[in-house]
Amino acid sequence: MTRQDPIQVPQDDTALVSFWNEVLAPKFIRYRHVLVGGLSRHSAEVMPALGVRPGERVLDVGCGFGDTAIALARRVGPAGHVTGVDCCDAFLGLAAADAAEQGIANLEFVRGDAEKGLAPGAHDFVFSRFGTMFFANPVAGLRSMRRALKPGGRMAHIVWRCRGDNPWLDAPHRVVRQFLPAPGADARTCGPGPFSMADEARTRAQMEAAGFEDIAFRRFDAKVLVGRGIADAIAFQLALGPAGETFREAGSLAEDRRAEIEAALAVLFAASETTAEGLWMDSSSWLITARAPSA
């Protein structure tokens, strides 16, 4: 069942959830083509190996535009069911519209904050593609994902590896930092951010603290789309990611130096791989798999 009702906005959103809805969601929607092109390679390759079976109940946490939830719904088939959860109203509306257009009936989209708790105990599999890195309290969010599993249920989440292996985000950020200061301590941010689960030992410790077992890390490298052309890539980087955050937080100083920053970014992107679809740069993620304890 896809969600048709207007989505109710709870009054008790955390600052992080408000920030996602007010600041990031409109930018994510504007650059949906880059994000879907950038992120989908990191799940398309690994999805078949996750072992999601027909008839299973699956939760997709931080489901965004819903493309992984739709792919999972196809895998579990009509006897199974998928729930996509996200804290952003605008994403859920687009995801539900896509699912309806594709005639996917075993899927619903629900607004929720994973850190505050997900429906406990009902799922065989919990998945997240690039959603967990933004939890203000990662252990709380991961624990709520573990509690959403049946005893012995499986989870998989995909997170970015280190900055150095993700030049698609790191190189533009370095360029912008040549011109602008780092965001201050009170900056409005998306939470710990895209590289917050890059460190294997720390993330493993967070997952163990959240109650997971059989934790395994697998590296996956892929080129990701950074824009349809140089102007699109520059606009994307100045809107989102670490470069975008630095630019946004610098306010009028950023606008004063916009021309210089755009010229420097143009030089960077001119050196990237170009196809008919656009510009591509290297990226690297972890596929992290684990299991809830058996009863």
Ligand X SMILES: C[S@@+](CC[C@H](N)C(=O)[O-])C[C@H]1O[C@@H](n2cnc3c(N)ncnc32)[C@H](O)[C@@H]1O
Asked if residue 233 lies in contact with residue 269, where contact means CB atoms within 8 angstroms, the answer is yes
Minimum gap (Å) between residue 166 Cβ and ligand X: 13
Minimum gap (Å) between residue 179 Cβ and ligand X: 25
Over the window 38 to 67, marking each residue x when it contacts ligand X by CB under 6 A and - when it does not, the resulting string is -x----------------------xxxx--
Q: What is the dihedral of CA 198, 199, 201, 205, to 10 degrees?
A: -60
The answer to the question of residue 135 lying near ligand X (CB under 6 A) is: yes
Please say which residue, 91 or 212, places its beta carbon nearer to ligand X: 91
> Candidates 134-142, 168-176, 203-211, 255-263 — which segment interacts with ligand X by CB under 6 A?
134-142
> Candidates 130-138, 248-256, 266-274, 277-285 — which segment interacts with ligand X by CB under 6 A?
130-138
The b-or-e profile of 154-183 (16+ CB within 10 A means b, else e) is: bbbbbbbbebeebbbbbbbbebbeebbeeb
Distance of alpha carbon 41 from alpha carbon 37, whole angstroms: 7
Distance of alpha carbon 90 from alpha carbon 158, whole angstroms: 22
Question: Phi first, then psi: what are they for 154, rounded to 5°?
Answer: -110, 155
The answer to the question of residue 71 lying near ligand X (CB under 6 A) is: no
The answer to the question of residue 127 lying near ligand X (CB under 6 A) is: no
The answer to the question of residue 115 lying near ligand X (CB under 6 A) is: yes
Residue nearest to ligand X (CB): 64
E-strand stretches of the chain: 57-61, 81-86, 107-111, 123-129, 149-160, 213-227, 273-274, 279-291
Please say which residue, 58 or 230, places its beta carbon nearer to ligand X: 58
The answer to the question of residue 130 lying near ligand X (CB under 6 A) is: yes
Asked if residue 20 lies in contact with residue 90, where contact means CB atoms within 8 angstroms, the answer is no
Over the window 72 to 111, marking each residue x when it contacts ligand X by CB under 6 A and - when it does not, the resulting string is -------------xxxx--x--------------------
Among 56, 98, 108, 113, binds ligand X (CB under 6 A): 113
Rg of the chain on CA atoms, in Å = 19
The answer to the question of residue 169 lying near ligand X (CB under 6 A) is: no
Minimum gap (Å) between residue 115 Cβ and ligand X: 5
Name the H helices within 77-137.
Answer: 89-101
DSSP 3-state of 53:
coil
Minimum gap (Å) between residue 256 Cβ and ligand X: 30
Residues that bind ligand X (CB under 6 A): 20, 39, 62-65, 85-88, 91, 113-115, 129-131, 134-135, 141
